[in-house]
Structure 1
Amino acid sequence: MEKTERTVAELILDQLHIFGVKRIYGVVGDAIIGLIDALASQDKIKFIAVKHESTAAFMASAEAKLTGGLGVCTATMGPGVTNLLNGLGDAYSDKAPVLAITGQAPRNKIGTDFQQYVDQQELVKPFAAYSANLASQDAIIELLQKAAQTSLGQRTVTHLSIPKDLFEKLAAVKPRQLPTVIEGDSTTFKQESLEQAAAIMKTAKRPMILAGAGSAAASKAIEELADLWGAGILTSLGGKGVFSDSSPNLLQGIGEGGNPYASEVFKEADVVLLAGVTWWPDGYVPKDARIIQIDNNPDKIGKSIPTELGVIGEAGEVIPPLKESLKSFTPNTDWLTRRHEIKEKWAEQNEREGNTPGSPIYPSRIVRAIERTVAADAILTLDTGDVTVWMNRNFRQNNQTVLFSGYWRTMGFGLPAAIAAKLASPERQVVAVVGDGGLEMVLADLLTATRYNLNITVVVFNNEALQMERDKIKAAGEKEIGVDLTNPDFVKIAEACGWRGFSADTDAALESALAEALNTASPALVDVRTAQAFFPETE
């Protein structure tokens, strides 16, 4: 006879399986023992045991960024849920759909001085668009449905706290698919806004397009639009890799770490089209241009950029009709020449920088070696710091996917993201490019890669400093303290954790070490002795 009742923990896993969840990242703790028991009794969803709750949330965030699906992490009450917050901040800031499930005090102890108790709804409020405490076993499916619908629909973080005594309570409710939502017809509104956008675009003598991660599905259409309109294309860090480096319209990135000459031409623009991007860096952008912003979220229009016209919709839906409107447009040949000069000027300098000799190795030279050795479809995960801006500046992306902490900009993201990426896409090469400071925050999770036999590669920019902070202190003319690092022997640490370890301190050794590491059928770390080079655009 079929079992008509399931425990709350079993129902959570049944429902998450229907949502397509394959992994839950977390650390075992007393208040979630009921959930851990249910995980151990089934094989549809795998529990990935990590060393710290913050890395569990980083992994859930990275998986959500990579796949677009729901990333899930779990933690016990008190210190456990508190430790999740940094990773949840990353997911919230970068619009990654993540659900955090945390244990809570038994129902009769909520609000008391019970050990480790904290009001979790208040705690996660800055990061969770929806947070609820389960009060009855019969409400679990309804709460999971609302959480998943919110996370996936709004690309945001949600949170459920489950009192410890409820995990093993029986309920007769049944899991179900998320409802299909059909949006109302807004053709008239869209047509009106498209006509206004086209009218503004036709006034352009010096057009530019700024594209971000949200434009990935429309990259071909954007390139075709740029051809018709005579526009140069610039990208945010999130848009890096959306367009081929060989594109005649692409001028690379904007802002710190981008094309250093791009701001010159961008400031001259008279009309700018924003696609899949909601932020631009102060000091690098035009002040008087007419700005059109495409975004499917009305709340994002004009939030950080002074937009004249917002077009609500996905870039893939909006760009094609704009192309049709501009078929008879005649681009400004002087502007085409200006754009081409800027592109060539930076391409020549970038090539020179990537071949800068020296020992310790110059950062641009490391980037060029990574570029030459990684697979064309590799997943690269970046930590935050000096390594991020050097990769943004010099890495000429092919078809690689890059994951990073965009708006939250937290250190420690690179290694956990690589672990999650390999679990989600085991067939792809995964490379974490990290600074020594960022890696040292999450060193314990080298063991997580070993535990799950993940042949990821970690490349460490080892300059024994928090170099970005040192640069900023120098640029401000201030005194420095605390920026020197006391580093371990990373190769020995890696080997002690079951990894293969490689090192390079000369140009000659660099690419061979990278190539061998990338072809190792186990986790591998490459310790690169890196010059303490002052980043050119530090302000």
Structure 2
Amino acid sequence: MEYSVADLIVSVLAEFGVKRVYGVPGDSINPLVEAIRKSPSVRFIQVRHEEGGALAASFEAKHTGTLAAALGTSGPGSVHLLNGLYNAKLEHAPVIALTGQVRSDTIGFDSPQEVDLLKLFDDVSIFNRQIINPASAQRMVTLACRTSLLGKGVSHLVLPVDVLRSKVEVNEKVQADLPHVEYVFDVKKAEEVINASSKPVILIGGGARGASHMLDEFAERIGAPIVYSLNGKGVLPETDPKVMGGLGLLGAKPSSIALGGADLLIMLGSSFPFTEFLPKGIPTIQVDIEPANLGKRMGVELSIVSTV
């Protein structure tokens, strides 16, 4: 069946569960906006500024765990996305950024609103590509969506306006199923360290989202108060007597008191950056899905690569 590349992109986004695309229309991205208008399952949310659209996508992705999308037209429209996308990058939110570009035959000739978007978005993205050939569009968008969801970060696609309008035959099924990842580790060492402590404290970050019930049971079982980084706020209610509050420059006094008397720190889904607020000279267990975050800012006795 023949589709425009713009229609094809929207159909792939729908297969990956995207419900909304945030952005501002513009000449080079309008074929995609029109494709969204015709879609029965994906809505276009027009915002006042592209930065707000990218932030909205980041917040949606963080709080739902699903893929969210933002778009901008060529030149300044795409540049404006960056602040919001850095929020997604730093908070590990799966967001796909779709940026319009001038016609492919005019790229490199200093056309009006032409910006080197691949270079500009390189730092914020874990996937950063331009669709050049309409025949590869479905696979490219599929790979962008999968990378963003599996890597929990920003994928970016540059979309020249003539490519968006191009027609393409589609016979392949979108591979939207993600591989199931299992984390295998020996919990005996963690049990030994926890059982040897009498005053453990749990520090949670954004990686603890979605684990509220298990976290509550775990804290009750080992008799540990809970403090949180800014990204961990709201994982458990403030009314829970175990929750001491935030930690750091905007932290609460009960959190500092709890950590001051701790003999074990258990960090769950956080690579807390303000190490001056953490206790010194006590063992630390750190659990994080990203291996590079383990021991990133301080030494830890036990590192576990896993979801919380």
2:242 and 2:254 map into 1 onto residues whose CA distance is 15
1:271 aligns with 2:271: no
> Which of 274, 297, 305 is the aligned partner of 1:281?
274
Superposition pairs for residues 127-206 of structure 1, below 5 Å? 127-173=124-170, 174-183=172-181, 187=184, 190-191=185-186, 194-206=187-199
> Which of 118, 123, 135 is the aligned partner of 2:120?
123
1:122 and 1:128 map into 2 onto residues whose CA distance is 10
CA drift of 1:72 comes to: 0.6
- Which amino acid is the alignment partner of residue 177 of structure 2? P
**Deviations 1:221-249 (CA, angstroms, capped at 9, x unpaired):** 33333333332211122222322334343
CA drift of 1:280 comes to: 4.4
> Which of 90, 94, 100 is the aligned partner of 2:91?
94
1:146 and 1:166 map into 2 onto residues whose CA distance is 18
Structure 1 residues 204, 77: CA separation in 2 closer, same or farther (over 3 Å shift)? same
CA drift of 1:156 comes to: 0.3
1:171 and 1:30 map into 2 onto residues whose CA distance is 21
8 Å CA contact 2:245, 2:254 repeated in 1:
no
CA drift of 1:268 comes to: 3.2
Structure 1 residues 144, 175: CA separation in 2 closer, same or farther (over 3 Å shift)? farther
1:267 and 1:154 map into 2 onto residues whose CA distance is 35
CA drift of 1:99 comes to: 0.4
Structure 1 residues 229, 53: CA separation in 2 closer, same or farther (over 3 Å shift)? same
2:34 and 2:243 map into 1 onto residues whose CA distance is 52
- Which amino acid is the alignment partner of residue 231 of structure 1? A
8 Å CA contact 1:50, 1:56 repeated in 2:
yes
Identity rate of aligned residues, in percent?
34
Structure 1 residues 180, 238: CA separation in 2 closer, same or farther (over 3 Å shift)? closer
SS of alignment partner, residue 210 of structure 1: strand
Superposition pairs for residues 444-463 of structure 1, below 5 Å? none
Higher helix share: 1
SS of alignment partner, residue 131 of structure 1: strand
2:225 and 2:244 map into 1 onto residues whose CA distance is 7
8 Å CA contact 2:96, 2:154 repeated in 1:
yes
Give the corresponding residue for 2:108: 111
**Deviations 1:419-465 (CA, angstroms, capped at 9, x unpaired):** xxxxxxxxxxxxxxxxxxxxxxxxxxxxxxxxxxxxxxxxxxxxxxx
1:70 and 1:147 map into 2 onto residues whose CA distance is 11
1:11 and 1:32 map into 2 onto residues whose CA distance is 14
Superposition pairs for residues 213-224 of structure 1, below 5 Å? 213-224=206-217
8 Å CA contact 1:272, 1:291 repeated in 2:
yes
1:164 and 1:223 map into 2 onto residues whose CA distance is 51
Query: Which structure has the higher relative contact order (CA within 8 Å, separation 6+)?
Result: 2
Give the corresponding residue for 1:50: 47
Superposition pairs for residues 15-26 of structure 1, below 5 Å? 15-26=12-23
> Which of 27, 30, 39 is the aligned partner of 1:33?
30
> Which of 224, 242, 249 is the aligned partner of 2:242?
249
2:238 and 2:59 map into 1 onto residues whose CA distance is 25
Number of residue pairs matched by the alignment? 307
SS of alignment partner, residue 97 of structure 2: strand
CA drift of 1:61 comes to: 0.9
CA drift of 1:301 comes to: 1.3
Superposition pairs for residues 390-409 of structure 1, below 5 Å? none
SS of alignment partner, residue 303 of structure 1: coil
CA drift of 1:164 comes to: 1.1
Give the corresponding residue for 1:386: none
Superposition pairs for residues 117-516 of structure 1, below 5 Å? 117-173=114-170, 174-183=172-181, 187=184, 190-191=185-186, 194-315=187-308
What is the root-mean-square deviation in Å for CA atoms of aligned residues? 1.8
Give the corresponding residue for 1:72: 69
8 Å CA contact 2:21, 2:71 repeated in 1:
yes
8 Å CA contact 2:12, 2:141 repeated in 1:
yes
SS of alignment partner, residue 114 of structure 1: coil
1:283 and 1:299 map into 2 onto residues whose CA distance is 20
2:2 and 2:274 map into 1 onto residues whose CA distance is 55
1:109 and 1:61 map into 2 onto residues whose CA distance is 32
- Which amino acid is the alignment partner of residue 270 of structure 2? V
**Deviations 1:230-281 (CA, angstroms, capped at 9, x unpaired):** 3221112222232233434322221223222422331332211111222142
8 Å CA contact 2:134, 2:168 repeated in 1:
yes
2:173 and 2:65 map into 1 onto residues whose CA distance is 22
Structure 1 residues 200, 77: CA separation in 2 closer, same or farther (over 3 Å shift)? same
8 Å CA contact 1:252, 1:259 repeated in 2:
yes
- Which amino acid is the alignment partner of residue 290 of structure 1? P
Structure 1 residues 213, 270: CA separation in 2 closer, same or farther (over 3 Å shift)? same
The structure number with the bigger radius of gyration is 1
1:253 and 1:263 map into 2 onto residues whose CA distance is 9
Q: What TM-score does the superposition give when structure 1 sets the normalisation length?
A: 0.54
8 Å CA contact 1:19, 1:177 repeated in 2:
no
2:258 and 2:109 map into 1 onto residues whose CA distance is 61
> Which of 7, 31, 41 is the aligned partner of 1:10?
7
SS of alignment partner, residue 81 of structure 1: helix
8 Å CA contact 2:10, 2:42 repeated in 1:
yes
- Which amino acid is the alignment partner of residue 57 of structure 2? A
SS of alignment partner, residue 217 of structure 1: coil
Give the corresponding residue for 2:60: 63
1:218 and 1:22 map into 2 onto residues whose CA distance is 24
8 Å CA contact 2:134, 2:163 repeated in 1:
yes
**Deviations 1:308-349 (CA, angstroms, capped at 9, x unpaired):** 21112222xxxxxxxxxxxxxxxxxxxxxxxxxxxxxxxxxx
Structure 1 residues 42, 219: CA separation in 2 closer, same or farther (over 3 Å shift)? closer
1:252 and 1:102 map into 2 onto residues whose CA distance is 40
CA drift of 1:166 comes to: 0.9
CA drift of 1:82 comes to: 0.6
